[in-house]
Structure 1
Amino acid sequence: MELEQLFIDNKEKTIYGRYLTLESIEPLLEKMNTNNQLSIIGKSVLEKPIYKYQIGEGKIKILLWSQMHGNESTTTKGLIDFLNLLNSGSDFADKLLNRFTFYCIPMLNPDGAKLYTRLNANEIDLNRDSQNLTQPESNVLRRSYESFKPDYCYNLHDQRTIFGVGDTGKPATMSFLAPSYNQEREVNESRLKAINLISGINAVLQRYIPNQVGRFDDSFNINCIGDTFQALGATTLLFEAGHFAGDYQREETRKYVFMSLASSFMILSENDIVNNGIDNYMNIPQNKVVFYDFIYKNVKLNYDGVEKITNFAAQYKEELVENEICFNAYIVEIGDLEGHYGHFEYDAKEAKYKDEFGGFPQLNQKASFYLENSIRFVNGLIKK
C-alpha cells in the first residue's frame, strides 16, 4: 500500500498550521458523525466539551488521545486525517473497522489549545497528573480508559525543534517510546508488544525519512499517563511529532504521523509484528538535545575594543498574537556550540557583528542584526 498517496487522499484540507483549537475541529467531527460516533465525555476547566469519536466493531480496542498539551497540535491533524481514512469506505478502511474499535479523543485539553499553552486552564501539566487526578481533563481520560478497557493506548504528542536523532545531525521528525511500567524499566508482555510494534513502524518510516526517527527516553515516572497505562497492563505507545527541515507549520510531519498510525494498524491487522524486536527497537537512536533553530558561526564580536571570533545561536519562541502563531527568534547561547546543529546555519567568515544595541549579541535579545553593515538579519533570517 502506497502510504504517501493514502495521505494525499485523506488529508483534511480545512485545517493547517500550528494553531488548532476546538472551534477548528468541531465542524469536522460533526461532519463525520454519520452514525452517532461522536459524543461529549466531559468538560474542561473552562467548561469546553471534550469529545470522543468511536468507530469500528473489531475485537481489538484502541484508545487514542491528542492535544493533552494544548500547543501540540500536529498529532491532532494526523489523527483527523486518519479518521477521514476510516470514513472513506475503502477496502482498507473496512478491514480496519472490522478488526478494531477506535476510541479517539482528538483534543483532551481544549483550554490549553485555545491559549496555545502546554498546560490546562489551571496551569497544570495533564501529563503529570495521572496519579493525583486533580484536573477534570485527567479524570475524563482515566474514565475513558476504565470504561473502554483498551488493548492498545496511543499517547499522541509533539516535541520541540531542539531534538535530533542521536549524533546524526538529523532532526527527530518522528520519535516513539514503549513507556516503562516500573522503575527498573523491565520488559513485560504488554511493553514487549509496544516495542515490537514500534520496530515495525520504524521499518516503514525509514523508507520515507531515513535516519529521522528517534527513540524517546524511557525513564519511569508513574505520574506520566503513558507509564501509568503501561503499568495498568495496556500496551502503550508514545508518539512524538518533531521537526522536518523547513516545516515549522508541521505539515510535512503531519504526513508521517498519519503514516505511523496507518502502518501500525496495517501491521496489527495483518498480524505482521516481528517477535522479539527489542534489538531493532534499541537500535533506534535516542532523542538528543542537539539542535537550535539558528546557528551563526565565526562571527567577529567587539567586547570593549577587544575583537573575538565566536558563534551564537537563536531559537524561535512560538507566540500567540491575534489568533496566529508568530515565530520570533531570540538569542539563546553564545560560545563554541560544539556538538550542536542548526536547522539554519550561517558561516559569517569572521564578518563583524553589529546591532542597534551594541557590538555584541545579548541573551534573550531578538535575533535581528547586521554583519559587516551589509548583510541584514531580521528575526533570524537574512533579509533579502
Structure 2
Amino acid sequence: MDLEALFNKNKEKTIQGRYITLDDIEPLLNSETLKKDVKIIGESVLGKPIYSYQKGSGKLKIYLWSQMHGNESTTTKALFDFINLLNNGSDLANQLLDSFTFYCIPILNPDGAKLYTRANANNIDLNRDSQDLTQPESKILRAVFEEFKPDYCFNLHDQRTIFGVADTGKPATLSFLAPSYNEEREINDSRLKAINLIAGINEVLQKYIPGQIGRFDDSFNINCIGDTFQYLGVPTLLFEAGHYPNDYEREKTRKFVFMSLVTSFIILNENDVVDNRNDKYLNIPQNNVVFFDFMYKNVKINYDGNEIITNFVAQYKEELIDYKLNFNAYIVEIGDLKGKFGHFEYDAKGALFQDGIKNLPLEGKVADFNLNKKVFFVNGKIKN
C-alpha cells in the first residue's frame, strides 16, 4: 500500500500549522459529511464544548484522543486526515468501518488549545490528573473510557524538538510507548498487545523515516492517563509527534502520524499482533534529550580581555502573541556541548561574535548577532 499517496489524497487542507483551536475544527465537525457522527460530550473549564466523533460498526473498539495538552496539535491534524479516509468510500474505508468502531476526541483541552498552553484553564496538566479527576476534561475522558469500553487506546501527543533518537544525531520524528502498568514495568498480556502493535508500526515507518523513530521512557506514573488505562487492562499506545528537519509547522510529521494510525489498524485487522515482538520493540532506540534548534560552533568571543573559542546554542520559544504563534529564538547554553546536536548547525571557524551590546552570547538573550560583521543572524537564522 502506498501510504504517502493515501495521505495526500485524504489530507485535510483547511487545518495546518501548529496553532490549532476549536475554531479551526468546528467547521469540520459541523460539515454535512461529519456532523451526523458528532456529539458534544461535555464542557471545558471555560465552558467550551468538547466534541466526540464516532464511526464504524466493527467489533474492535478504538479510543483516540488528541490535544490533551493544548499546545500539542500535530496529532489533531492527522486525526482529521484519518477521519477523511474513513469517509472517502474506498474499499479500505469500508473494511476499517466493518472491523472497527472508532471513538475520537479531537481536542480534549480546548481552553489550553486557545491559549497554546500545555495545561487547561485551571493550570492543571490533564495528563497528571487521571487518578484525582479534578478537572472536567479529565472526567469526560474517563467517563467515555468506562462507557465505551475500548479494546485499544491511542493517546496522541507532541514532543519537543529537544528529543533525538539515542545518540545517533537524528531527530525523533515519531516516538512511541507501550506504557507500564506497574512500578516494575512488567509485561502482561495487555501491555504486550501494545508492544507488538508498536513493533509493527515501527517496521513499516522505518521505510519512510529510517532511524527517526524513538521509544519513550516507560517509567510508571499512575497519574498519567496511559499508565492508568494500561493498569486497567486496556492496551494503550502513546504517540509522540516530534521534529522532522525544517518542519517546525509539523506538516511532514502529521503525515507520519497518519501513516502510523493507518498501519495500526491494518495490522489489527489482519490479526498480525499474535507473536511476541518485545525484542523488536526494545530495539527501538530510546528518546534522548540531545537537540537544540540552533548550534553555533567554533565562535570567537572576547571574555575579560581574553579571546577564546567556544560553542553556543539557541532554542525556539513558542510564544502566542495576539493569537498568532511566533517562534522566537533565545540563547540557552554556552560551552563544550559535547554529545549535543542542532537542527541547524553553523561552523563559525573562529569568527568573532558581536551583537552591538555586550558582544557575548548571553543566556536568555534573543539570538540576533553577527560574526566578523560579515554574517548576520536574526532570530537564529542567517539573514539573506
Using structure 1 for the length normalisation, give the TM-score. Answer: 0.99
The 1:270/1:297 distance shift into structure 2, 3 A limit, reads same
Matching of residue 141 in structure 1 with residue 149 in structure 2: no
Residue 21 of structure 1 is matched in structure 2 by: 21
Residue 58 of structure 2 is matched in structure 1 by: 58
d(CA) in 1 for partners of 2:353 and 2:91? Answer: 60
Give 1:34 deviation, angstroms: 4.9
d(CA) in 2 for partners of 1:366 and 1:44? Answer: 36
Give the number of aligned pairs: 384
Q: Secondary structure at the match of 1:62?
A: strand
d(CA) in 2 for partners of 1:59 and 1:188? Answer: 23
| 1:203-282 alignment runs, 5 A limit | 203-273=203-273, 275-282=275-282
Give 1:86 deviation, angstroms: 0.3
Give 1:274 deviation, angstroms: 5.6
| 1:41-190 alignment runs, 5 A limit | 41-190=41-190
Equivalent AA in structure 1 for residue 12 of structure 2: E
Equivalent AA in structure 2 for residue 177 of structure 1: L
Equivalent AA in structure 1 for residue 243 of structure 2: H
Residues 107-135 of structure 1 deviation map (CA, whole Å, 9 limit, x = unaligned) = 00000000000000000000000000000
d(CA) in 2 for partners of 1:3 and 1:272? Answer: 18
Q: Secondary structure at the match of 1:112?
A: helix
The 1:247/1:274 distance shift into structure 2, 3 A limit, reads farther
d(CA) in 2 for partners of 1:202 and 1:104? Answer: 23
Q: Secondary structure at the match of 1:31?
A: coil
Give 1:347 deviation, angstroms: 0.3
Contact 1:303–1:359, Cα closer than 8 Å, also in 2: no
Give 1:33 deviation, angstroms: 5.0
RMSD: 0.8
d(CA) in 2 for partners of 1:221 and 1:82? Answer: 30
d(CA) in 1 for partners of 2:364 and 2:181? Answer: 39
Give 1:98 deviation, angstroms: 0.3
d(CA) in 2 for partners of 1:66 and 1:176? Answer: 15
Contact 1:200–1:267, Cα closer than 8 Å, also in 2: yes
Matching of residue 9 in structure 1 with residue 9 in structure 2: yes
Contact 2:29–2:35, Cα closer than 8 Å, also in 1: no
Residues 21-67 of structure 1 deviation map (CA, whole Å, 9 limit, x = unaligned) = 00100111121655721001010000000000000000000000000
Give 1:361 deviation, angstroms: 1.0
d(CA) in 1 for partners of 2:151 and 2:113? Answer: 28
Q: Secondary structure at the match of 1:301?
A: strand
Give 1:359 deviation, angstroms: 2.1
Equivalent AA in structure 2 for residue 41 of structure 1: I
Q: Secondary structure at the match of 1:36?
A: helix
Residue 342 of structure 1 is matched in structure 2 by: 342
Contact 1:200–1:274, Cα closer than 8 Å, also in 2: no
d(CA) in 2 for partners of 1:41 and 1:62? Answer: 17
Q: Secondary structure at the match of 1:197?
A: helix
Q: Secondary structure at the match of 2:262?
A: helix
d(CA) in 2 for partners of 1:291 and 1:28? Answer: 36
Equivalent AA in structure 2 for residue 72 of structure 1: E
d(CA) in 1 for partners of 2:274 and 2:345? Answer: 40
d(CA) in 1 for partners of 2:164 and 2:32? Answer: 37
The 1:34/1:221 distance shift into structure 2, 3 A limit, reads closer
Q: Which runs of 5+ in 1 are unaligned?
A: none
Which segment drifts farther, 266-275 or 313-322? 266-275
Contact 2:28–2:34, Cα closer than 8 Å, also in 1: no
Equivalent AA in structure 2 for residue 312 of structure 1: F
Contact 2:185–2:219, Cα closer than 8 Å, also in 1: yes
d(CA) in 2 for partners of 1:34 and 1:88? Answer: 12
d(CA) in 2 for partners of 1:143 and 1:370? Answer: 56
d(CA) in 2 for partners of 1:34 and 1:295? Answer: 45
d(CA) in 2 for partners of 1:198 and 1:208? Answer: 16
Contact 1:293–1:315, Cα closer than 8 Å, also in 2: yes
Using structure 2 for the length normalisation, give the TM-score. Answer: 0.99
Equivalent AA in structure 2 for residue 356 of structure 1: G
d(CA) in 2 for partners of 1:32 and 1:63? Answer: 23
Q: Which runs of 5+ in 2 are unaligned?
A: none
Equivalent AA in structure 2 for residue 109 of structure 1: N
Contact 1:353–1:359, Cα closer than 8 Å, also in 2: yes
Residues 200-222 of structure 1 deviation map (CA, whole Å, 9 limit, x = unaligned) = 00000000000000000000000
Residues 275-330 of structure 1 deviation map (CA, whole Å, 9 limit, x = unaligned) = 11000000000000000000000000111211110000000000112222110000
